[in-house]
Every structure is written in C-alpha cells, then in structure tokens.
Structure 1
C-alpha cells in the first residue's frame, strides 16, 4: 500500500518530496535513484515492504561453483549498496527499455560454511578437501556493473500507474577497477588449520578468481539489488517521481485487454470479450465425465492485469504472465459423471444433471507461452500465433461452484455434491482443471490470432521486424 507520507523511526519520507523527472531526463532519473537509495538505505520503509538495504541482512545464502565449491553464508551482512554511484540510469518508457551502470564499494561478511573439493587443493595445500566453518569477509573496491532490461508501465487495481522492470536481470557485464580482499578463519584440511595459506592464495589471485568464478557471486548479489528495485517500483506510483503523464505509454497488451473487454474491435472482427460468449463447449475425460455448456459466458476479463510480457524474437516465442482478480463462468449445462470420482455415498453409480451452473474463481494467475511466426504482407509484418500454446495456472484465492438440478432434481443429493465440490475445490481443480483450462487456452489462441492476424507489428513493437521474416 502506497501512502503520501511515511514515518519510520527518525526518518520522515514524504513521497511527494521525491524529485520528479521527465521520461527523457536521464540525469534527473540517475539522481532520483541515488537519492532513493541513500534516503531509505539504513531503515527501509516497512509500510511499503522495502527492507533496509545498507546493511542488507542475509541468511542461508548458498553459492555452488562447478560442483567443487559449496559456500553458505549462514548469517551475514552486505554493506555499501546505498553509496553506489550511478554513472548511468535510464528508463526509456517510449522504447520500453531500461539501462543502468553503477560503481560500488561492497563488503560482505558473516558466519560462513564451506566445503571445497578439487585436485588443485592437493597441489597447493597437500590435501583434497577444505572444510570451513567460521567468520569470513570479502571486500570489493570499485565494482562496476551494467544492466540492460525491458521496462513497461501498467495500471493496478488502485487506479495508479506503476513502472515495472525486469527483476530477474543479471549484470550484462562487470569489472573491478579496484581490488578484492578476502579474509577467513577456521579453514581446515583434515585437522590442520590452513586459513592463513588459503587467504594469502585468494588475495594473490583475486583477478583470476573473479574472472573465472566472479559472475556466480555477482549474480547472487544482484538478487538483493533487484529486490530493492522491485519493492520500490511496485509500491510507489510513478506520479511520485515521473512528471509526465504515462497514460499514453500503458502496456499495449494491457490496453488491448481493457479495450476489447469493454467494447471489442469490430473493425477487425473481434467482439467484446467481457462477457465472453461461450457456445457448445464440450469437455470429456475418458468415459468418466462428459460435460457440455450449451450456451454461457465468462465475466470478469476486465479484472485481468498483464503482469509481464517478454518477447523473444530470436526464438519466436512470447511469454505472458496475467493475473485475474475475479472470473465467473456460467451457463446452461448438461453433465454425466461416474459418481466414484467424487467419493460421495448415496448418490448412485452415475450423476446426471441439466440446468444452470456457475464457477467463480478468485485470484488466478496464469503463465502462457505463445509460439509464433512472422510473415510479411503488403510490406507490413504480422505476428501469427501458433496453435501449440503451453501454460500453467495457479489459483491464489479459491474456486466456488454453484449449480441447480444437478442430480435430476434431487435437491439434497445435488446440494451434497455441490458441498463436496466447494469443500474440495483444490482437489477438483487438480483432477479436472487441466481439461477445462485446455479448452480455455483454445479460446485464448483463437482470440489472439484474430487480433494479431489483422494488426501489423509496427503498431505495438518498436523495432522493424523485416529482418526476422524468413
């Protein structure tokens, strides 16, 4: 929850006093993120779920290197993040791209455990395995990092516009302009304490070690920085730090869903999709279940939010993550079901019903992969969605079933079945959910194909895709 003024201990952070930057003012953006790091570095903002970032408290963080070295920082801290200097920070909303280049002095220390097995250990120290459990420290002077990632804006249920970056990004490149210094105690080969010898070796060969294994550690450190960015950008509406109106830059795909949900696009033959009409939908599981929805609809598409959209042009695949707050599927149904599937006594061997039914699903998240090909028609490039969509779904809220006349008018038996379905909705979705969602994905494929078959890519992808057409 974002509030205009936040108070935590001795730190007063009015969000309205954050510097506001234009979408093209990269110098202002650079100073903004630097200021945000410094102002919340030591205390965080609990009200926005932003923990302190200097020091960052870490526990049970493990790194494995080539199956030879397994290091776990059991309890420790990372210092220096709030004083990172940004040489570049850009959020290019128009092109949907972000970039950062920064330099930091970082210290990581704490209680560690390590097991290292390698022939090189024997050559250097006379044994094949090092075991350590003690206190360690790594100090990195002048660590340079560069990130490049997709950026988009989206609207939350609170009506505010937010900026979202790629929070799984890793450093595209890194360099160390200073040096790396190691320190550790309680390192043993057998019963011999080799801490001093190991530390000397590490400090004498830090350049080789960081060049060979450094990215593993840098990626782990980047996870903590990404966490800060996610908490900040996901919690603070863009109006508090961006002076431009971002409405025109709302995610194309989110805008598409909202427009089609509300009124459709009759000029390209797409009717509105909220409610989405369903007719003669048939689902069958072997000889155990036969369900037909003669006519009905899906209500609630307008509650769906595009959480992320990543387009991999090289592999012709787009990944969509969508969250729907509330969906209702309803209509006139006919069903035949082997009762043993439900494990309910006293309703006979078979269940037959015909009437009106509704399924309500609260808070569902889906991830869908869209394979596609690119085709050129009349000098325009079009994205053609293929039929083999893959997906996964997760119900974060619950599912509720309602139906009348489920067992040929036997009210008590019908109520018993409905009660069972609602008490065991997770089991029902695990057992039967896939066939229903497979059918849903067929509608998604048909709907997206209708749109993208008619709309050239130049209207929603900045790059000229002509070079990608085979």
Structure 2
C-alpha cells in the first residue's frame, strides 16, 4: 500500500504541470512547510485522476497484485488483486531537499489508509488449524484492512541534471530508499473465507485484529515496498517533464551534476 511516499513527491509535481493553466506561488527550497502544502493540494486535486499527458496513473486508488505476507509460522496470506485508498488525503508537515547530500527527506502522515482485495490463504500451522476447527488452512476470500494514523519518514537519493533544452530537472537516483514507518491502529475485515468447507471469516477477522501489532510489520513494510516501486517510476516521469524553475524559487544551477 503502498504509500509509501514517492506518491507525495510525484503528485506534487503533477500540480506544477497543471500550474501552467492555474498559476500558484512557487516555494523556496528552504521552506519545507510551503512545499508540503503544495503537495497536499496536489493529492486532493490530482490524486484520483492522474495526468494523461504525462502517462501518469492515479495514486488514489493505487492498484497492486500478488502481495504476500507471512501471518504466522507456515502460513501465507497472498492478496492477488488489491487496491490502496487514502493517499490523496495525506499530509506532509515536513519536506526538505539537501542538494549537498543529494537527499530528499519528507515526513508523511495519513489519517487512514484502506486496503481491499481478493486473497489466498494457505499453509500448515497446528495452532491455527485447532483455532479454526479445520484440518486444512488452504482457502480464499476477500479482505479489507484499515490502517489508522500512519506516519512515514522517507529519505530518497536525488540530484539535478540539465537536459538538452537547457533547463535543470530533478532526478531520483538509483538506490534503495531509506524509510521508517509507524501505524497506530489496524483493523481486519475478512469475508467469504472458506477453508475445508467452512466459512471462518469471523474467526479469522477476530484473530487478525486482536494480533494487529505484530502483523503491522508483516503487512506494512512489504506494502510500502510495493508502493515505492510504483512511486519511483511515477516521480521520475514528473521530474523528467517539469523544470525545477517552475516550482522552486532558487536558481539551482550550482547543483547541476552533468
């Protein structure tokens, strides 16, 4: 889910693309709150629509496939087709770019992120088989996850390049983004989970919700990893089309690296 924060970076710049028709006040690269507010506006105005001219998919909802996590010893929960909703309402209270260190840092806060999808459930675990009253844990169903008060601190490698048109552009560098995240509350709603001919949806929902704290790490980190795959592509498409002069007040010529 996704989420987790190149979404903000990318979407914000989409706003800059549309700013040709609807001008807005540029931000100083040193004014982290100004930049954050602009990105919040982008989430609200562009998050659910995307940008066809730049071949940008919407960020809310964000769709994914084959999202698998281990929820207990020997048991895997695999969401085959899923979607994450809620990114367009996220806040960015802190944002900064340190061009000397080639590092972009942002703090992202989302009140609620909702994940829905169809899943497969399977494996071997004596405790769960006893709890569910079945001799098999292979099944499938539908899931709704709700994460509340999601906070993510994200560090991304970034630089400034000059293109053939003579303008300077941001570019996200190759490398592994560094991030930390926290989720204050999580809820699970399982439907139509049939295992061994029995519908164990209610029991499974209660088990997952009562054990949400350890499961947050299991679900949260791979979900963010999956979201970053999309968001890095998304952000670089924006950066490749929008000169920094269109949304940054300062002249970044001294930081051009090519």
TM range (shorter): 0.7 to 0.9
Task: Tell me what 2:66 maps to.
Answer: 61
2:18 is aligned with 1:13: yes
1:18 positional shift: 4.3
Do the aligned residues in 2 keep the contact of 1:112 with 1:134 (CA within 8 Å)? yes
2:212 is aligned with 1:206: yes
Which of 56, 74, 90 is matched with 1:84 structurally? 90
1:79 positional shift: 1.0
Which of 48, 52, 59 is matched with 2:58 structurally? 52
Partner secondary structure for residue 29 of structure 1: helix
1:148 positional shift: 1.4
Do the aligned residues in 1 keep the contact of 2:156 with 2:177 (CA within 8 Å)? no
Which of 223, 241, 250 is matched with 1:244 structurally? 250
1:50 positional shift: 1.5
Task: Tell me what 2:151 maps to.
Answer: 144
Residues 50 and 67 of structure 1: CA distance in aligned 2, closer, same or farther (over 3 Å)? farther
Pairing of 1:387-406 with structure 2 (within 5 A): none
In 2, Cα distance between the equivalents of 1:238 and 1:165? 13
Do the aligned residues in 1 keep the contact of 2:159 with 2:173 (CA within 8 Å)? no
In 1, Cα distance between the equivalents of 2:64 and 2:149? 25
Residues 213 and 108 of structure 1: CA distance in aligned 2, closer, same or farther (over 3 Å)? closer
Task: Tell me what 2:241 maps to.
Answer: 235
Pairing of 1:23-172 with structure 2 (within 5 A): 23-56=29-62, 58-65=63-70, 68-74=75-81, 76-104=82-110, 105-127=112-134, 129-166=136-173, 169-170=176-177, 172=179
Residues 180 and 108 of structure 1: CA distance in aligned 2, closer, same or farther (over 3 Å)? same
Which of 214, 217, 223 is matched with 1:217 structurally? 223
Partner secondary structure for residue 137 of structure 2: strand
Residues 52 and 116 of structure 1: CA distance in aligned 2, closer, same or farther (over 3 Å)? same
1:90 positional shift: 0.9
Do the aligned residues in 2 keep the contact of 1:130 with 1:187 (CA within 8 Å)? no
Pairing of 1:266-345 with structure 2 (within 5 A): none
1:227 positional shift: 4.0
In 2, Cα distance between the equivalents of 1:168 and 1:35? 28
Which of 188, 195, 198 is matched with 2:194 structurally? 188
Task: Give per-residue Cα distances to partners, 1:77-107, cap 9 Å, x unaligned.
Answer: 3211011011211112233111111111111
In 1, Cα distance between the equivalents of 2:186 and 2:254? 46
**Larger RCO: 1 or 2 (CA < 8 Å, sep 6+):** 2
Count of aligned pairs: 239
1:225 positional shift: 3.8
In 1, Cα distance between the equivalents of 2:47 and 2:75? 35
Do the aligned residues in 1 keep the contact of 2:162 with 2:169 (CA within 8 Å)? yes
1:123 positional shift: 4.1
TM-score, length-scaled by structure 2? 0.81
TM-score, length-scaled by structure 1? 0.47
In 2, Cα distance between the equivalents of 1:90 and 1:222? 19
The alignment's C-alpha RMSD in Å is 2.6
Do the aligned residues in 1 keep the contact of 2:69 with 2:218 (CA within 8 Å)? no
In 1, Cα distance between the equivalents of 2:54 and 2:41? 17
- Please, which runs of 5 or more residues in structure 1 have no aligned partner? 1-5, 7-11, 255-470
- Please, which runs of 5 or more residues in structure 2 have no aligned partner? 1-13
